[in-house]
Amino acid sequence: MTAYTVGAPATEALRRAVGPYVGYAERAAAPLARRETAVSRCVLVIGWGVPLDVRDPRGRSGGATSVASFATGVADSYVDTLTAPGEARGVQVMLDPLVAGRILGRPFGEVANQVVSLADLEGAALRDLRALPARLGAATGWSERFALLDQVFDARLSSTPPPDPRLAGAWRHLRATGGAVPVDTLAAAADWSRRHLGTVFRRELGLPPKVLARLVRFERAYAQASRAPSAGWAAVAADTGYYDQAHLIRDFRAFAGATPARVHAGGPALTASVDGGS
């Protein structure tokens, strides 16, 4: 297999919620299988090469078959992908869930644990988004492609209302604390009941606060995998807010499909998330 990637940040105005952009091109003579960990962001892939299948290992109906351009909702499990032989080209970008809902034209909770093909998006307002694969494929280079993404994303966010500031604040607080903030504290800060906070999180983000807190905590632990051989996984667990190493192993199995040691030895790659709010 031959492959390369090229990256660039979004514009400064978009950077807190969008990107970085990662352009890719790879050619494979045989089907290419990967395991992708769960992430607390929307993964948006805009491709114009061979398609791939996205499979939920639990056998649920949230996957997709033969898609090149798609968005993933926040998920509480890893997924497996299978790319057909041939050349795949495209751009991958991470979106904050509250921003993703505005770009996709629907509450992000509606696509939790699902893959949505860009071709299936409805409404005249989303015409520019549906047209992106063809426009990016026809562009003369990566700089032109990234500038086009800036333009489309900026137009979508300029034409849609921002999220409820109480929700945005709760989400920022949860991420800033690495998932260590109690749900009651989040609810009190938003002046909501615990039950109402859970309802709003499910509708707008896709998962309840406790599951999202686990996912954010897992991401922090995953990012520290490189120091585990010297410090030990128990130290990583303690530094990232886990009660003990057993809880860390549980989350790695759920969100990465492997133990921490297996991941460090060559498991799935966690797609980089982006700091910031909505």
pLDDT, mean of each 10-residue run, the chain (278 residues):
81 87 91 90 93 81 84 91 90 93 89 90 87 95 95 93 95 94 95 96 95 95 79 87 92 91 66 37
Residue 271: predicted pLDDT: 42
Residue 267: predicted pLDDT: 53
Map out the domains of the chain as residue ranges. 2-158, 165-264
CATH 1.10.3720.10 is right for the domain spanning 165-264: no
Residue 2: predicted pLDDT: 61
Give the 3-state secondary structure of the chain: CEEEEEEECCCCCCCCCEEEEEEEEEEECCCEEEEECCCCCEEEEEECCCCEEEECCCCCCCCEEEECCEEECCCCCCEEEEECCEEEEEEEEEECHHHHHHHHCCCHHHHCCCEEEHHHCCCHHHHHHHCHHHHHHHCCCHHHHHHHHHHHHHHHHHCCCCCCHHHHHHHHHHHHCCCCCCHHHHHHHHCCCHHHHHHHHHHHCCCCHHHHHHHHHHHHHHHCHHHHHHHCHHHHHHHCCCCCHHHHHHHHHHHHCCCHHHHHCCCCECCCCCCCCC
In words, the CATH class of domain 2-158 is mainly beta
Residue 278: predicted pLDDT: 41
Residue 62: predicted pLDDT: 67
Cα-based distances in Å from 22 to 40, 96, 151, 154, 221: 18, 16, 16, 18, 23
Residue 17: predicted pLDDT: 84
Residue 153: predicted pLDDT: 94
